[in-house]
Amino acid sequence: MGSTTPESRKSSSEPGSPDDAIDPFSMCGIASAELELEKADVLFSEGDEVEHVYVVRSGLCYRYRYLKDGRRQIVDLTFPGDFIGLEALTQATFVSSLTALTPARVTAYSVKEFIQRCHADPPLVRMLLEWMARGHSILTKRLVGGAHGSASQRIAHLLLEIRLRALYSIQLTPIEKDAETPFLGADENELNLKIPQAIIADTLGLSIVHVSRTLASLREEGLIEQSATGLRYRNLEGLKDLALWDD
């Protein structure tokens, strides 16, 4: 894993003004370093000291914890534009580990400078609150489905969540001019990303066998189509109905 220090970029507006646009990849001139991750690289582990707050620049990562019996529980997937390490606002160590699911790049910010900027920059705080509110909504819906939904409903909901977050990440990629957004294909119903069944299983607390059978059932029902490059949502409305998806 290597790192470089990119040239800082600043908004044309004064920090704190109503028109100030926050670039999550180079926020308000805070000194930053770009880290490159290969697939399966571990950025940090549970219990490590929090020294940086990160923003995913490209690629896909996942956060997880290991249970006492050795099982892995995936807490979340992280997409471009997502913040990582906000534990630094309340505690000194990471509460989960993070590994790259695909080759990825992240921007690292000093915790001290990041917190100082939060105190001085209302637009940055507003962006963080919006990001946290969106994440809370997604996680709440996933937890409710996990507690009461069938395996088909839970997997359908996760697939729709991944699509929604891929769509949102595209809104941020124009900021990063040299970034690629491989997640979506020719249209919004084609996902150029293969999510391993183990990732789905460990996110939803299902066995890989159960996930495999459920995905096969979704294919047979004409809701999705899997290929060598990823996933196609063949019947988006049908998948939403199955997942009890609330737009």
73-120 pLDDT per residue, tens: 999 999 998 989 888 888 899 999 999 999 999 999 988 888 888 777
Within 10 angstroms of residue 3's Cβ, the number of other Cβ atoms is 11
Task: Let me know: does 225 contact 234? Beta carbons within 8 Å.
Answer: yes
Q: What is the pLDDT of residue 146?
A: 59
Within 10 angstroms of residue 157's Cβ, the number of other Cβ atoms is 24
Q: Mean per-residue pLDDT for 234-242?
A: 94
Does residue 12 or residue 186 have the better pLDDT? 186
Q: Mean per-residue pLDDT for 172-199?
A: 67
Q: What is the pLDDT of residue 65?
A: 96
Q: In this predicted model, what pLDDT tens digit does every residue of 203-231 receive, in sequence order?
A: 999 999 999 999 999 999 999 998 877 88
Q: Mean per-residue pLDDT for 16-28?
A: 52
Amino acid identity of 232?
A: R
* pTM of the predicted model as reported, rounded to 2 decimal places: 0.79
Task: Let me know: does 32 contact 107? Beta carbons within 8 Å.
Answer: yes
Task: Tokens 């507006």: give the residue.
Answer: 13
